[in-house]
Chains A and B, each alone.
Chain A
């Protein structure tokens, strides 16, 4: 289950897709939330809370693959699909994110 399903969300334009290079993550502030947005090399976009629930690590600096995001501080891993940790940490919030005419739209 996505951890965002029960939330009432609003779509925000947070910037342009060009601000997030392929394979990397960047952090934005949107709707009072700190959100890390990632663009994988396959073009897919993902968005999560910006801080790792374990020790507050900057998740946008983490390493990614098609399944998970890994925090750079202590290597806790989280699934894109639902934010659940595969390494025993608390789950993270994930947010719907898409591209519209070159703009990054995140639902928070």
Chain B
């Protein structure tokens, strides 16, 4: 017995709404595929369940499933249960009468009745045809048996049953021919080849995916497909299918014979319009509909792939869903005037392992169309755009789809394009933000930390802010992690249209002291200023303190003075004051140190015990290979630290935080170096070191990069023969940047020395909150190399000494403040509050 996908449990009964009296209108949907089921969902969402008794007919016995996902099912990447969209129970639960496995044979439009193969007659007030498409089987001798069935071993690729049959066949077949070099054929070929079959792909056109790609891109795709081991035959038809009881091969028009025991025909689809034809509705290539998806019968509609709108047929799911929305609006009365005006189709997918994104036209069509192409056949990359009247009308991205988000936006919204068209396809110098500031919608969020939109920034400019600093102060944009600062700057410049004043504070290290960092450091040393308050009283205008400058000054003073720094709690941000990370509800998160991501059963037991004892609401593994205890009450912090007996992991500070590692040579069979031990050594040496912004490190034992060392502030990669590469300036957060190779060194000791030297150089020269991914490009890799590797400025010894001073000053803050709070009430709750025992009223 065939398993029913999305079926009901054995013994469950089906709801028969027709047996019950009902005064609602009758809405009948023929077709239970992507379009039909989506339409029912849209109707229900609009309260249509109360307006209509809904009946859905489906040819297949299954619930509604995601046809797009059949390829992953065939490839064995997805299980068929994963592609169920709406099970039989869903229909029953929503009061929808699903007639699964019941084919509709005829519509009596005069009597408004649907006649089905099971003999049932169902009346309707509104009828929606969502019959979809079927696999086109080109005329070939021998492809069908005398009974008209496909020869055993020949399959279309359209339904779950066909997919199941093909999957079953992969176990006993060795050679497959796939007919059709479009998207579906390529996916089928890749999936079958993944099951170990030898695959020949036969395509009647001169290049693959000819409907979406131009010849050049098609040729590049061919190379990528062939590199997978699939043999491609282009520009040739199959004329004959061989075999009597089972397929044995195909014969091509040029006489060649390809042996196979499995033949997949993916040569396109045709709309299911027979029912409409039999019922007297107007049908051309598909069922003809108007802008309200209405056929020439006023109570019959058609949506999805079977519908022909303004001469167009669509073979993608997005237009079907747009149809479903518009028709649901119309029929439920949510928007009786809703209309569909056609779809601009853009699609992004992975074809046979290659990223492809296509939208609009693939080649220029008019003399004055602009056509820009970047083709790198060797790398498997082909990028092109077609521009008409300064608007993007088409784009093809093959092998590199990084720009797809912007291009889709430009294509969908008709947004203005950059004058340098090349920026549509590649990032020049400083990134994607360059393209798109002008065309970003006003509600685009720019600063995710503080929820500031482009509109907010523009509003601040029009409200009188005349430089970037003022805008950041007014809106708080860029005041969180700081990764959006460059984008904020560009938007301000764009919004001000050149009418900007110079921000005097732009070059200052902190806003409250009018000095750049080197000058400030000199003055601090000259005046022997060892506390934040001393700096303000000596160097700030009128000796005034400044809340926004305190954290940066504390960090700087700690770096300069080490042990001899005079701490003041009000100079610290709350995280540093209580050594934990404040959360949105005023609770804190606690992350114990776990050097190199390595822990022990005893530590895990301790963490688990503490989490239970203090009723920690969430225990979470962090991206830095540690364990985060979230939702801790401030007053519980000292006791928790004491119970943990582990040092602080500094997950809250602008400081050195963590070193991710892979298992390296301990267990990994590919490991070239002991990354775990080196990670532990780095973390031990640099623990707690403050810096202008957080610093994240990683060490990997081979270039497979399992711990993502290429995208860390300092990343270390074992490359064999005892050598290690040291990368700097990488990031994989809000900004993504691959680090620059600083040097290749011969020993773990050399790594530790060089990493420390770089970090100290960064600590001394970076602006407050400037991450290394901004710092390294700003200073320039060559300069950094010259300073650190060749000692071009004669400061290497000082850098090493400066770092050592900070290392020597390290003490575990948890150990200190758990023993004795730094100030009275350091861990008293700030929110929520508990009433104090007695408050005398005067």
B474 and A30 contacting across the interface, CB-CB below 8 Å: no
Whether a CB of chain B sits under 8 angstroms from the CB of A65 is yes
B836 and A57 contacting across the interface, CB-CB below 8 Å: no
Q: Given A18-B824, A24-B570, are A73 and B582 also a contact pair (CB < 8 Å)? A: yes
- Using Cβ atoms and an 8 Å threshold, which residues of chain B touch A24? 569-570, 577, 823, 825
B475 and A88 contacting across the interface, CB-CB below 8 Å: yes
Question: Min CB distance, A48 to chain B, in Å?
Answer: 12
Q: Given A57-B586, A63-B551, are A41 and B545 also a contact pair (CB < 8 Å)? A: yes
Question: Min CB distance, B745 to chain A, in Å?
Answer: 41
Cα(A19)–Cα(B828), bound, Å: 10
- Using Cβ atoms and an 8 Å threshold, which residues of chain B touch A75? 450, 476, 479-480, 548
Whether a CB of chain A sits under 8 angstroms from the CB of B797 is no
Question: Min CB distance, A73 to chain B, in Å?
Answer: 7
Q: Given A29-B834, A63-B550, A64-B570, are A12 and B473 also a contact pair (CB < 8 Å)? A: no
Question: Min CB distance, A51 to chain B, in Å?
Answer: 6
- Using Cβ atoms and an 8 Å threshold, which residues of chain A touch B571? 23
- Using Cβ atoms and an 8 Å threshold, which residues of chain B touch A97? none
> In which size bucket is the chain B interface?
35 or more
Number of residue pairs spanning A and B whose beta carbons lie under 8 angstroms apart: 133
Enumerate B796-842 residues with CB–CB distance to A below 8 Å: 823-825, 828-831, 833-836, 839-842
Enumerate A30-61 residues with CB–CB distance to B below 8 Å: 30-31, 34, 36, 40-41, 50-51, 55-61
B475 and A28 contacting across the interface, CB-CB below 8 Å: no
Question: Min CB distance, B347 to chain A, in Å?
Answer: 39
Cα(A59)–Cα(B449), bound, Å: 18
User: Taking each of B568, B584, B842, which has the highest tally of chain A beta carbons within 10 Å of its own beta carbon?
Assistant: B842
Question: Min CB distance, A63 to chain B, in Å?
Answer: 4
Question: Min CB distance, B372 to chain A, in Å?
Answer: 43
Cα(A41)–Cα(B534), bound, Å: 11
B842 and A13 contacting across the interface, CB-CB below 8 Å: yes
Enumerate B556-597 residues with CB–CB distance to A below 8 Å: 568-571, 573-574, 577, 582, 584-586
Question: Min CB distance, A30 to chain B, in Å?
Answer: 5
A29 and B548 contacting across the interface, CB-CB below 8 Å: no
Q: Given A29-B839, A41-B533, A58-B831, are A66 and B544 also a contact pair (CB < 8 Å)? A: yes
Question: Min CB distance, B513 to chain A, in Å?
Answer: 12
- Using Cβ atoms and an 8 Å threshold, which residues of chain B touch A64? 547, 570
- Using Cβ atoms and an 8 Å threshold, which residues of chain B touch A66? 544-545
B831 and A23 contacting across the interface, CB-CB below 8 Å: no
Enumerate A49-108 residues with CB–CB distance to B below 8 Å: 50-51, 55-70, 72-77, 86-88, 105
Whether a CB of chain A sits under 8 angstroms from the CB of B299 is no
A12 and B839 contacting across the interface, CB-CB below 8 Å: yes
A65 and B545 contacting across the interface, CB-CB below 8 Å: yes
- Using Cβ atoms and an 8 Å threshold, which residues of chain B touch A8? none
- Using Cβ atoms and an 8 Å threshold, which residues of chain B touch A20? 825
- Using Cβ atoms and an 8 Å threshold, which residues of chain B touch A59? 830
Q: Given A11-B842, A41-B533, are A69 and B547 also a contact pair (CB < 8 Å)? A: yes
Cα(A60)–Cα(B546), bound, Å: 17
- Using Cβ atoms and an 8 Å threshold, which residues of chain B touch A65? 512, 544-547, 550
Q: Which of A11, A56, A74, A88 contacts B586 (CB 8 A)?
A: A56
Question: Min CB distance, B482 to chain A, in Å?
Answer: 12
Q: Given A10-B841, A26-B828, are A63 and B570 also a contact pair (CB < 8 Å)? A: yes
Cα(A58)–Cα(B473), bound, Å: 21
Question: Min CB distance, A83 to chain B, in Å?
Answer: 16
B90-112, CB under 8 A of A: which get 1 and which 0?
A: 00000000000000000000000
A21 and B473 contacting across the interface, CB-CB below 8 Å: no
Name the CB-closest residue of B to A21: B823
Q: Which of B512, B586, B842 contacts A61 (CB 8 A)?
A: B586
B570 and A41 contacting across the interface, CB-CB below 8 Å: yes
Name the CB-closest residue of B to A77: B547
- Using Cβ atoms and an 8 Å threshold, which residues of chain A touch B512? 65
A73 and B584 contacting across the interface, CB-CB below 8 Å: yes
Q: Which of A51, A56, A74, A77 contacts B450 (CB 8 A)?
A: A74
Cα(A64)–Cα(B551), bound, Å: 11
B824 and A15 contacting across the interface, CB-CB below 8 Å: no
Enumerate B462-487 residues with CB–CB distance to A below 8 Å: 473-476, 479-480
- Using Cβ atoms and an 8 Å threshold, which residues of chain A touch B842? 10-13, 105
Cα(A66)–Cα(B536), bound, Å: 12
Q: Given A23-B570, A24-B570, A29-B835, are A76 and B476 also a contact pair (CB < 8 Å)? A: yes
A61 and B841 contacting across the interface, CB-CB below 8 Å: no
A26 and B825 contacting across the interface, CB-CB below 8 Å: yes
B840 and A12 contacting across the interface, CB-CB below 8 Å: yes
Question: Min CB distance, B273 to chain A, in Å?
Answer: 56
B582 and A61 contacting across the interface, CB-CB below 8 Å: yes
Cα(A68)–Cα(B573), bound, Å: 15
B830 and A50 contacting across the interface, CB-CB below 8 Å: yes
Question: Min CB distance, A64 to chain B, in Å?
Answer: 6
Cα(A40)–Cα(B545), bound, Å: 10
Q: Which of A19, A55, A63, A74 contacts B476 (CB 8 A)?
A: A74
B568 and A23 contacting across the interface, CB-CB below 8 Å: yes
Question: Min CB distance, A66 to chain B, in Å?
Answer: 6
Cα(A46)–Cα(B729), bound, Å: 43
B831 and A28 contacting across the interface, CB-CB below 8 Å: no
Cα(A24)–Cα(B828), bound, Å: 12
Cα(A87)–Cα(B471), bound, Å: 10
B582 and A36 contacting across the interface, CB-CB below 8 Å: no
Q: Which of B449, B474, B839 contacts A87 (CB 8 A)?
A: B474
Question: Min CB distance, A9 to chain B, in Å?
Answer: 11
Name the CB-closest residue of A to B830: A58
- Using Cβ atoms and an 8 Å threshold, which residues of chain B touch A72? 573-574, 582
Question: Min CB distance, A53 to chain B, in Å?
Answer: 13
A30 and B839 contacting across the interface, CB-CB below 8 Å: yes
Cα(A22)–Cα(B833), bound, Å: 21
B168-209, CB under 8 A of A: which get 1 and which 0?
A: 000000000000000000000000000000000000000000
- Using Cβ atoms and an 8 Å threshold, which residues of chain B touch A86? 473
Question: Min CB distance, A52 to chain B, in Å?
Answer: 9
Enumerate B448-464 residues with CB–CB distance to A below 8 Å: 449-451
- Using Cβ atoms and an 8 Å threshold, which residues of chain A touch B569? 21, 23-24
A56 and B831 contacting across the interface, CB-CB below 8 Å: yes
Question: Min CB distance, B636 to chain A, in Å?
Answer: 15
- Using Cβ atoms and an 8 Å threshold, which residues of chain A touch B824? 18-19, 21
A60 and B830 contacting across the interface, CB-CB below 8 Å: yes
B833 and A50 contacting across the interface, CB-CB below 8 Å: yes
Question: Min CB distance, B386 to chain A, in Å?
Answer: 44
- Using Cβ atoms and an 8 Å threshold, which residues of chain A touch B545? 41, 65-66
- Using Cβ atoms and an 8 Å threshold, which residues of chain A touch B547? 62-65, 68-70, 77
Name the CB-closest residue of A to B536: A65
Cα(A88)–Cα(B475), bound, Å: 7
- Using Cβ atoms and an 8 Å threshold, which residues of chain A touch B830? 25-27, 36, 50, 58-61
Question: Min CB distance, B198 to chain A, in Å?
Answer: 61
B474 and A88 contacting across the interface, CB-CB below 8 Å: yes
Cα(A27)–Cα(B574), bound, Å: 14
- Using Cβ atoms and an 8 Å threshold, which residues of chain B touch A27? 828-831, 833
Cα(A86)–Cα(B840), bound, Å: 35
Question: Min CB distance, B784 to chain A, in Å?
Answer: 32
Cα(A61)–Cα(B825), bound, Å: 12
Cα(A33)–Cα(B357), bound, Å: 59
Please name 19 further chain A to chain B contacts, defined as beta carbons within 8 Å, in addition to the given A29-B834, A41-B570, A73-B584, sorted by A numbering: A13-B840, A19-B825, A22-B570, A23-B571, A24-B569, A29-B836, A30-B836, A34-B833, A57-B831, A58-B831, A59-B830, A61-B830, A65-B546, A65-B550, A73-B582, A75-B480, A76-B476, A77-B547, A88-B475
B-to-A contact residues, CB < 8 Å = 449-451, 473-476, 479-480, 512, 533, 544-548, 550-551, 568-571, 573-574, 577, 582, 584-586, 823-825, 828-831, 833-836, 839-842
What 3 pairs across the A-B complex have the smallest Cβ distances? A23-B570, A58-B830, A58-B831
A-to-B contact residues, CB < 8 Å = 10-15, 18-31, 34, 36, 40-41, 50-51, 55-70, 72-77, 86-88, 105
| A-B contacts, 5 listed (Cβ < 8 Å) | A12-B842, A20-B825, A40-B570, A73-B582, A87-B473
